[in-house]
Structure 1
Amino acid sequence: MPVPLADICHSSDPATRAGCFKLAAALIAALLPRLSPGRARLLLGNTGTHYDETAAELEGYSRALWGVVPLLAGHRAETSGVDAALIAQIECAWRDGLINGTDPAHAEYWGAVRDRDQRMVEMCAIGFALTKLPGVFWEPLTSQQRENVARWLGDINGREMPRTNWRWFRVMANIGLRTVGASTYSAEVLYADLDFMDTFHVERGWNADGPVEEGVKQMDYYSASFALQFAPLLYVCDEVAQRDDAARCQRFRKRAAQFAEDFVCWFDDAGRAVPFGRSMTYRFAMVAYWPALAYAGLTDAAAKPLNNAGVTKGIWARNIRWFIGQRGVLRDDGTFSIGYTYENLFLTENYNSPGSPYWAFLALLPLALPSTHAWWRSEEKALPSSELPSIKALKPPGHIAIRHGGNHAYVLSAGQQPAYRMRHGAQKYCKLAYSSAFGYSVPTGASGDEQHALDSTFALSDDGGETFKVPRQLRSAHLDEARGCLTSSWMPWPGVLVETWLVAPAPSSLAWHVRAHRVTVTDAAAKTTVPAALLISDGSFAVSDRAQQGEKRRLEQRDQVGADSIYTSSSTAFVASHKGAVGIRDITLGSASESDKQRTQGVVVPVDASSNIIAPRTSVACLQKTLARAPGARHILVSAVFAMVPRDDTVGLSTDEIRKAWEVDVEVPKWLEEALSA
């Protein structure tokens, strides 16, 4: 009986060249039965997108190329251990798909590209295929077939494109056309796109997803592995670019090497990334930057300890292992689900089709590296956390990154905002903190705090908790590197101003950080009809709230903090399971008015199922309180927020471990008291 493809994936170690080929071959083999008769479309499911079904089915075919091309390139260069018949089947299938998908007379024709069309995104991988393997995807084609491919791909040059990372997709398409000598290649468009994308750069390799001068404040994994670092690292490998665009290539190399020192802050020792921003269903595409750095020959140019191939390979390999090891990532047939660690449509965007998760194949680029390359010759190494800062300010994205014991990486965040009204954009960019272990949550509905899923969020309600306002666009944001503090402000309603201070933890107590919120009802509120009260809620991270053993029911309330328990009081909320412990404590001091000294109520909210990106059943520890909403009123809440992650989540944290960390006396800095009183 054949071994299920999902089982082969689970048993394959990406850290070795043979294991990586085995994994990639199994993931791609799982797609073969899902290809259409003409091999031009990949049929993986029935969920919808804002673009047409033909483009969605093209997306599946095209994104698989990010794995198919390195697999074929590496196998052609030297033995890979993959069955030759399977390699031949994969090669023929994706070549036939290109031929038929670009043939206007074929039933599976992809259709002509239009302005701002999803087809533009998928042209990127096809351009890469022509660049890397013309012997597979160009030379065997007839003259008519070549003309069809060149015409279809070249149509991108006459169309309007978004002012975002999409411009790289046209660059890659043009490089492919240039490589094969197609007449539809446009040098004018290529260099205009490259010049335009230079306006995205902020500093130290960070790119916004659009022109900085236009106020774009979105820096996420598109700024790194998904596009804006990955694609330039492919560009600098192009021989024509090296010869004719040497100065730009040098800028890209310098920025890429600089970026490593900041980007590593988004990963913990277990290989988990800090989920932040959109397109989280691309999963281990998050680590594609690290092998791309090696592909471009730039690992040695990074700062220590990231100038070691074994270290960067370790980040990459552990991330892939972690994702493949999550029970909901692969279906039984070896295909990807839509989601993060489990199948979950709540977290997705309206552009996520069943084929979208295959952007993850960007991370399979090392298959194209020879066995003699340092990437494969180096032993995988643990992330040397002792050589990395435990607290680091990341100015461009507006983050303060914290590394707690190596097994937990999290960021405090202020200043980012989605560039358009994407689904759950506020939750993906504007929460107060994001965690490699606890992730983030998104709303499942709009009725009550359970559905709003208010983890790592300061939220306000003017209808008694039926609906809540959270920040999506800020009035101001500032990073004070000297004090380790992020400040921000926003207005949930006219006449109500919310100011927040996020203070990095003390190096001796990395499980805690401080938040301070000042809510001011301005005189402008007197001109409007306003409710008499506001309900506020300040939330911790969300943690799995299920018992590890037995019936795995929800954890029970206890009379004190400890392992596998829920605890609440008038000023405290806490919940711990084998996945970790989270909590929040009211530490409001003399800077508050007398009414604010009346303690908040600690509440553990069992948020709606499947709201969290990592765990399907979670709870959030919250402080909640009702405020008067009279014109001129000012209210202050200062919270100490707790998070602790076990080294081994099959064992969890002991009560002694938790209490030792919990009983720390968290102090409010004097400067913060003064700022709140001002």
Structure 2
Amino acid sequence: MRLPAEDRRLSPRTGWTRAHWEAVADHLLDAVNRHWSPRCARIDLPGEPSRYGVVSDGLEGFARTFLLAGFRVAGGGDPALLERYAWGLAAGTDPHSPEAWPRPDVLGQAKVEAASIALVLQLTKRWLWDHLDDGVRERVLDWLGTVVGQPYPPINWVWFRIVVESFLREAGGKWSAEDLEQDLAVHASFRRPGGWLSDGEERAFDHYTGWALHLYPLLWTHLFDVPDSLCSQETRRTWADDLSRYLEDAVALTGADGSPLMQGRSLTYRFAAAAPFWVGALTGAAEPGLLRRAASGVLRHFVDHGALEPDGVLTLGWHGSWPPIRQAYSGPGSPYWAAKGMLGLALPADHPVWTDVERPLPVETHDFTRVIAAPGWLVSGRRADGIVTTVNHGTDHALPGDQRTDSPLYARLGYSTATMPDATDNSVVLLDSSGAASHRAGFRTLFVETLPGDVVAGASYGPVRWVDTSADHSPDHGSGRGGDIVEGPPVLVLSVVRSGVEIRFVRVDGDTDARLRLSGWPVAADLRPHAETAARPEVVVSAERLRSSLCALRGFDQAGVHTGTGTSPLGKYVATPWLATTGRVTRGDVLAAAVRLDRGRGAAANPLLTGCADEIVLRWSDGLDTRITLPNP
């Protein structure tokens, strides 16, 4: 792919302008041209099919690339990009066609793709819908109309029906005000503090907050003629205010290299993570130059790391192809929901988001810590590293008291813009006599708070368990797995974070014969990472300018490194440092360790830990004292 020359005057951080976005979009669309079905109702991309089958996957390829073509045309691209999609609409909605689409009332996945089709038909009405034959328009309305009255799961899916029925309402099809009112009420139940939205009733905080739950509401009110009886002006203001607050966190969660936080399901959508930045530009929710810098950083990150290589087709993976990233619903067309992150192309070239000078991300200007209350995250960014980390005490894709296993994508104690969650990283577990590790999903969040001196702290608590999942064959949608339970004791985990250093405290509030193991950040590389273990005990793992370390401050007498292969899209080898107790952990004892992830530049010294029992004092290298009382829930 040939890209335009960089413009460091307009875009001093990324060098990218609208011309770069257009070049990437055109490259993506050109690359799928050889995969059109004969009548253009499907884009049949190579790869292992999803659980819904190849016909559904072909519809997915059509609908998700249709998003990108629609954004491109709406922002001034060649309307000829829509020609094949017009043919596909005619064939896909014809029940007698060999390429007829599965109906949304028959196949659940078609409900998802129907929303993308309806959204682009509304966005490109004067170029496409207005020029379709009456018969084709009638068939499209009939096909879309099968969503009316259908059950939708109470997650981000409610917006798929809202979008489809809003298009039907304006295009003369059947629709249901009751459906929309019910779906809007479900969406309202997702609201959490600080502008965040949970994807359902569980503590399911991930990129769906941005690329779905903030994307659709304000795009809906912008593109459709939504009456106040359906959505009041007060609700619209609430949504706009929520987006503005959410974006303050979203830009802070973006690494200096453009990497989004690697946390949550559907990571194969990659640069869809840029979608909320463009919605913010559309609504004026944040400064345009900052939003473009964040969005361009995300897209460039994936382009620079080979996401479009070798042939321009997005495959299941992160940077390049990595099939294990799939969930049960993932197929060859799934990665093209990345098109959501290119929504900015629908904005005109003279929009301030394209003409204002880029502003730096928070991690590019200063070291910072912040608390994000809804997901229970303690966020830390260091300018010297450009890495953003989160320490997690509130997200597990579960509810308090849940008895399932931990989901690595949600329940780990840490996520970052430089590491992909692995099977053993960032956990505090009890090891039974066979070496099996316990799970803590379903914990209670005790607190997340800001303390003096740029210190943030948080704690979570709950009984651990061992789970036999051998009989659980449910599809992977991001949650943990169930099975026979062996109960364990309650465990308290408390984190104090400053200057990129987490001091992690653990207390077991019950009798057990198990040992305790604490693990740190995983380092992935194509060459085996280098590990050093000191007598303290302390362990440091490093590779390719990334360093992960653990230092025992109290209670641990073993240190080591777990090394796996083929478990991360970031490299062939993954090395994770750990600390452990040699014998069983004693009820009420407080153990502590310093947990770090950095690039080995300007790392702060570990604080001095003093105090006894549950009254702890941390003295940092600059003399600041942080006093911690471990709670007794």
Bucket of the pairwise TM-score, normalised by the shorter protein: 0.7 to 0.9
- 1:642 equivalenced with 2:621 (yes/no): no
- Alignment match, 2:74: 73
For residues 470-481 of structure 1, the aligned pairs below 5 Å read 470-475=439-444, 477-481=446-450
- Does the residue aligned with 2:397 lie in a helix, a strand or coil? coil
User: Given that residues 409 and 435 in structure 1 are in contact (C-alpha distance below 8 angstroms), is that contact kept between their aligned partners in structure 2?
Assistant: yes
CA separation in 1, counterparts of 2:44 and 2:336?
13
Q: 2:488 aligns with which of 489, 493, 496?
A: 496
Cα distance change of structure 1 residues 340 and 477 upon mapping to structure 2, 3 Å threshold: farther
- 1:512 equivalenced with 2:501 (yes/no): yes
Shift of 1:463: 4.0
Cα distance change of structure 1 residues 470 and 626 upon mapping to structure 2, 3 Å threshold: farther
Q: 1:468 aligns with which of 437, 447, 453?
A: 437
Greater share of residues in helix: 1
- 1:343 equivalenced with 2:333 (yes/no): no
Relative to the length of structure 1, the TM-score reads 0.80
Cα distance change of structure 1 residues 390 and 543 upon mapping to structure 2, 3 Å threshold: same
Q: 2:147 aligns with which of 134, 140, 156?
A: 156
Q: Alpha-carbon deviations, 1:49-76, whole Å to 9, x = none?
A: 232332222111111122110111122x
- 1:112 equivalenced with 2:103 (yes/no): yes
- 1:123 equivalenced with 2:97 (yes/no): no
CA separation in 2, counterparts of 1:576 and 1:662?
17
- Alignment match, 1:396: 374
| 1:454 partner letter | T
Shift of 1:18: 2.1
Q: 1:543 aligns with which of 476, 500, 523?
A: 523
CA separation in 2, counterparts of 1:662 and 1:203?
32
Relative to the length of structure 2, the TM-score reads 0.86
- Alignment match, 1:487: 460
Shift of 1:309: 1.0
Runs of 4+ in 1 over 6 A off after TM superposition: 9-14, 386-389
CA separation in 1, counterparts of 2:69 and 2:350?
21
Shift of 1:669: 7.4
Identical positions, percent: 24
- Does the residue aligned with 2:575 lie in a helix, a strand or coil? strand
CA separation in 1, counterparts of 2:253 and 2:82?
36
- Alignment match, 2:178: 188
Cα distance change of structure 1 residues 537 and 662 upon mapping to structure 2, 3 Å threshold: farther
User: Given that residues 418 and 426 in structure 1 are in contact (C-alpha distance below 8 angstroms), is that contact kept between their aligned partners in structure 2?
Assistant: yes
Q: 1:238 aligns with which of 195, 204, 223?
A: 223
- Does the residue aligned with 1:30 lie in a helix, a strand or coil? helix
Q: 1:667 aligns with which of 602, 609, 613?
A: 609
- Alignment match, 1:587: 553
Q: Alpha-carbon deviations, 1:551-594, whole Å to 9, x = none?
A: xx42455xxxxxxxx33435111112223111101111xxxxxx
- Alignment match, 1:593: none
Shift of 1:503: 2.2
Cα distance change of structure 1 residues 669 and 104 upon mapping to structure 2, 3 Å threshold: farther
Cα distance change of structure 1 residues 556 and 425 upon mapping to structure 2, 3 Å threshold: closer
| 1:537 partner letter | R
Cα distance change of structure 1 residues 104 and 10 upon mapping to structure 2, 3 Å threshold: farther
Q: Alpha-carbon deviations, 1:420-456, whole Å to 9, x = none?
A: 99x9961111101111112322xxxxxxxxxxx3111
| 2:374 partner letter | P
CA separation in 1, counterparts of 2:495 and 2:125?
54
| 1:605 partner letter | H
CA separation in 2, counterparts of 1:168 and 1:10?
39
User: Given that residues 446 and 458 in structure 2 are in contact (C-alpha distance below 8 angstroms), is that contact kept between their aligned partners in structure 1?
Assistant: no
CA separation in 2, counterparts of 1:498 and 1:388?
38
Shift of 1:260: 1.5
User: Given that residues 394 and 401 in structure 1 are in contact (C-alpha distance below 8 angstroms), is that contact kept between their aligned partners in structure 2?
Assistant: yes
Q: 1:202 aligns with which of 160, 169, 192?
A: 192
Cα distance change of structure 1 residues 33 and 545 upon mapping to structure 2, 3 Å threshold: closer
Q: Alpha-carbon deviations, 1:335-387, whole Å to 9, x = none?
A: 01211123223232111111111111001111111122101111223224476
Task: Give RMSD over aligned pairs.
Answer: 2.9
User: Given that residues 562 and 575 in structure 2 are in contact (C-alpha distance below 8 angstroms), is that contact kept between their aligned partners in structure 1?
Assistant: yes
- 1:140 equivalenced with 2:140 (yes/no): no
- Alignment match, 2:359: 381
- 1:603 equivalenced with 2:560 (yes/no): yes
Cα distance change of structure 1 residues 292 and 248 upon mapping to structure 2, 3 Å threshold: same
Cα distance change of structure 1 residues 280 and 116 upon mapping to structure 2, 3 Å threshold: same
Cα distance change of structure 1 residues 376 and 476 upon mapping to structure 2, 3 Å threshold: closer
User: Given that residues 530 and 541 in structure 2 are in contact (C-alpha distance below 8 angstroms), is that contact kept between their aligned partners in structure 1?
Assistant: no
- Alignment match, 1:93: 84
Greater share of residues in strand: 2
- Does the residue aligned with 2:131 lie in a helix, a strand or coil? coil
Q: 1:169 aligns with which of 132, 143, 160?
A: 160
Q: Alpha-carbon deviations, 1:374-401, whole Å to 9, x = none?
A: 0111122322447677111111111111
Shift of 1:96: 1.1
- 1:323 equivalenced with 2:281 (yes/no): no
User: Given that residues 150 and 177 in structure 1 are in contact (C-alpha distance below 8 angstroms), is that contact kept between their aligned partners in structure 2?
Assistant: yes
Shift of 1:273: 1.4
Shift of 1:666: 4.5
- 1:313 equivalenced with 2:292 (yes/no): yes
User: Given that residues 605 and 620 in structure 1 are in contact (C-alpha distance below 8 angstroms), is that contact kept between their aligned partners in structure 2?
Assistant: yes
Cα distance change of structure 1 residues 243 and 373 upon mapping to structure 2, 3 Å threshold: farther
User: Given that residues 316 and 325 in structure 2 are in contact (C-alpha distance below 8 angstroms), is that contact kept between their aligned partners in structure 1?
Assistant: no
- 1:289 equivalenced with 2:245 (yes/no): no
| 1:639 partner letter | A
Shift of 1:201: 0.8
Cα distance change of structure 1 residues 69 and 96 upon mapping to structure 2, 3 Å threshold: same
CA separation in 1, counterparts of 2:33 and 2:494?
50
| 2:424 partner letter | L
CA separation in 2, counterparts of 1:273 and 1:361?
16
| 2:528 partner letter | R
| 1:29 partner letter | D
